[in-house]
Amino acid sequence: MSNLTLALSILGGLVLAAVVGYEALMSRRNAPRQPDAVDTALADVERSMSSDDGVEPRLHVDPNQLSAHDRHEPLFDPDLPAPSGVPVATGERRGGLDPLIDVIAPVSLDGLASGDAAIAAMPPTRRAGSKPVAIEGLNEHTGQWEPPVAGQRYSAFQVGVQLANRTGALNEIEYSEFVVKAQAFADAVNGSPEFPEMLDEVARARELDQFASAHDAQLGFVLRALHAAWSPGYVQQNAARLGFVAGIIPGRMVLPTGEVGLPPILGLAFDTQAALADDPAQSAIRELSLSLDVPQVDRAEEPFRRMREAAATLAREMDGVVTDSDGQLLRDETMDVIGNDLEQLYDTLDARDLAAGSPLARRLFS
């Protein structure tokens, strides 16, 4: 072999090695970022301890089996009572018919009616179209309006339907369906209902819906990867450091409030398919969203400040940028304007007795 052939062979080998090395480097650089090994090891230990205790991991958590230290996505449904064993949020009682956002039909009784009879007379579906229907009784002993309870006795009832929600205003067809359900309940408990004038209530519903539509706000930030993509575990690890916990839906995390049963302060979401992949570590996520449902969260929680700080922290730690849904960068000046607009919105809701995070606001903006 001549010196030239040998030199060319060596040069070819060096070029091949350089190409392989470069591709390996680019592969590592473009691979989805993975969670830190230390935190992953701790999570493995916790899972192992759970297995040793004979507790099978599960996605859906039974609220009756939660301890004070369990962290989970808050379970919130204004149409359902709080499950037994879970403390109801402090402050104003959840739900409760209110003439501000409900049509209320009083049901007078000749005597007393039992809670058992009232429960048996409840309509099978407590909705009129898309509007919730609720029934309350005046407790003989406490003098308080409450959903009928077995073993209690009531001197009167009231049936209500919500004037508006995010599906729109109560219309004539829904009002008629409400009347049918309320009349059937009244007949079953030997009561006499008194219905407000339909046209007046429908007009009131439209006015309330116009106000709600003009003062509804659901904010969203998008966090986009600048260079390497993220794995689901990497996103979850960084979000968990800020207090986010896993949601019920794969690819969703929430920042919960300090009270059980209330909506979360913030939501974080990424591609569900990436979370459900056979090997999530190989799933590449290039963007995630942070969301705030303004009327659902108490102003005292400072949700926008926390949303802004969470977005900035995640962008810094995960090598990303914060944008709007159109990909435009959200700079500090823009954030300040949004914050000032929100303060004005809060003031307007307060003046209308629909303070953000209150039971009435959560019902109206749902």
Q: Please, what is the average pLDDT of the chain?
A: 83
Counting every residue, how long is the chain?
A: 366
| Residue 44 pLDDT | 47
pLDDT higher than 60, residue 18? no
pLDDT in tens, 219-277: 999 999 999 999 999 999 999 999 999 999 999 999 999 888 899 999 999 998 888 88
Give the DSSP letter string of 132-152: EEEEEEEETTT--EES--TT-
- What is the DSSP-derived secondary structure letter of residue 217? -
Largest Cα–Cα separation, the chain: 117
pLDDT category at 53 given cuts 50, 70, 90 is very low
Residues 97-120 have a mean pLDDT of 97
Q: Which residue has the higher pLDDT, 245 or 9?
A: 245
| Residue 19 pLDDT | 54
| Residue 274 pLDDT | 85
pLDDT category at 213 given cuts 50, 70, 90 is very high
| Residue 36 pLDDT | 66
| Residue 71 pLDDT | 33
Contact 208, 164 (CB under 8 A): yes
Q: Which residue has the higher pLDDT, 138 or 280?
A: 138
pLDDT higher than 60, residue 57? no
Q: Which residue has the higher pLDDT, 60 or 269?
A: 269
| Residue 260 pLDDT | 87
pLDDT in tens, 166-178: 999 999 999 999 9
Residues with Cβ within 8 Å of 60's Cβ and at least 6 positions away in sequence, in order, are 248
Residue 290 Cα distances to 166, 223, 264, 301, angstroms = 21, 8, 12, 16
pLDDT higher than 80, residue 72? no
Give the DSSP letter string of 276-330: TSSSGGG--B-EEEEEEEGGGS-GGG-HHHHHHHHHHHHHHHHTEEEE-TTS-B-
User: For the ranges 73-77, 126-130, 203-207, 224-228, which has the lowest average pLDDT?
Assistant: 73-77
Domains of the chain: 102-213 (3.30.1400.10), 216-364 (3.30.1400.10)
The residue written with tokens 């949004």 in the block is 338
Cβ neighbour number for residue 210 with a 10 Å cutoff: 12
| Residue 86 pLDDT | 31
CA distance 359 to 349: 13
Using DSSP, state whether 99 is helix, strand or coil.
coil
Residues with Cβ within 8 Å of 219's Cβ and at least 6 positions away in sequence, in order, are 291, 292, 294, 304, 307, 338
Torsion from C-alpha of 339, 343, 346, 348, nearest 10 degrees: -130
- How many Å separate Cα 22 from the centre of its chain? 45
pLDDT higher than 80, residue 101? yes
